Amino acid sequence: MRTPVIDFHARFVPRPDALDRLLAAMDDNGIGRAAVSAGGVIELDRLSRQVVEGGHADEDADNDAVLAACAGSAGRLLPFFFANPHRDPDDYRARTGEFRGLELSPAVHGVALTDPRTVRLVAVAERAAHPVYVVCLPRPGARVADLVALARRFPAVRFVLGHLGVTLIDTFGVGLVAGEPNISVETSGGYTATLRVALDRLGAHRLVFGTEYPLQHPRVELAKFAALRLADRDWRLISAGNALRLLGEE
């Protein structure tokens, strides 16, 4: 029997029936568990504009809604704290026991990975033994190279580069993290060609499956791996084993 997939990057937007829809999508696609961060912090058009033109949001993610959804999932959903670096890290520090990891997104909050506020949050994650999921951008302070610098500063922290890097074809970013053993790569969003490069350069032990649900349907992300015809041992690592290790459950 195949091990159920772990989705390392889904989002929960607190809307009517959102939990039921998320769990149904997981059931339909053989996903047993999912690491969940808050979604809908800002509207999609605004997020798109910030990614392209710059800017930032001061709004807080609804981490409480994520916790409530996870509490109602019979253990299938694993909550990540979506930090707002514009706020003092004390809230995250006080609640690390409620969450399984940390997410940082310069795309939303506009705070660089080189900023002292980001560094303070990562220091809290280090003490909590939390993995840190990061969304990078092609601008100074938020590039994959900046994540590499942050990872070197915190060699004990398990970082995860989201979305196969910055663009659909970020083979450059994949190459940058190749020499950093504490950076894994989450695979949602990128082309199959980029995924193949990541497999060749990093190995299956450095990749984790994710979907970016509800913006992306899980079936689309699963299809990328089906097209590559991976060896069973590699798929077991990417679809579950590596996530368990990052979450401290190995």
Tens-digit pLDDT profile for residues 56-114: 888 888 999 999 999 999 999 999 999 999 999 999 999 999 999 999 999 888 899 99
DSSP 166-183: SSTT-HHHHHHHTT-TTE
Please compute the mean of the pLDDT values over residues 221-237 and round it to a whole number.
97
Whole-model pTM: value is: 0.95
Q: Is the pLDDT of residue 54 over 90?
A: no
- Residue 149 CA to residue 157 CA, distance in Å, equals 12
Cβ(36)–Cβ(77) under 8 Å? yes
* Predicted local distance difference test score (pLDDT) of residue 42: 67
Which of the residue ranges 35-44, 106-115, 128-137 would you say has the lowest mean pLDDT?
Answer: 35-44
Whole-number Cα distances in Å, 11 to 32, 89, 146, 211: 15, 22, 25, 9
What H or E segment, with its residue span, contains residue 9? strand 5-12
Digit-coded pLDDT (tens) for 19-36: 999 999 999 999 999 999
The structure tokens listed for 221 are 């992300």
Could you give the CA distance from residue 26 to residue 224 in angstroms, rounded to a whole number? 17
Q: Which of 194, 122, 45 is nearest to 186 (CA)?
A: 194
Half-sphere exposure (Cβ direction) of 153: Cα atoms closer than 13 Å? 15
pLDDT at 1: 38
Residue 142: CB atoms within 10 Å:
25
Average pLDDT, the chain: 95
| DSSP secondary structure letters along 100-123 | SEEEE-HHHH---TTSHHHHHHHH
**Closest of 112, 133, 142 to residue 210, by C-alpha:** 133
Angle between helices 63-71 and 18-28 (to 10 degrees): 60
The SS3 of residue 208 is strand
Note the pLDDT of residue 58: 82
Structural domains in the chain plus CATH codes: 5-246 (3.20.20.140)
Residue 113 in contact with residue 106, Cβ under 8 Å? yes
DSSP assigned state of 210 = -
* 38 beta partners: 12
Closest CA to 87 of 66, 63, 65: 63
Confidence band (pLDDT; 50, 70, 90) for 135? very high
Say how far apart CA 136 and CA 121 lie, in whole Å: 16
| Residue 221 buriedness (CB in 10 A; 0-12 / 13-18 / 19+) | buried
Which is it for strands 159-161 and 183-186: parallel, antiparallel or unpaired?
parallel
Quick one: average pLDDT of 192-213?
98
166-200: pLDDT as tens digits = 989 999 999 999 999 999 999 999 999 999 999 99
Query: Among residues of the chain, what percentage have pLDDT more than 90?
Result: 86
Which pLDDT score, from 0 to 100, does residue 47 have? 76
Question: Mean pLDDT over residues 47-51, rounded?
Answer: 81
Does the pLDDT of residue 44 top 50, yes or no? Answer: yes
Q: What was the pLDDT predicted at 45?
A: 86
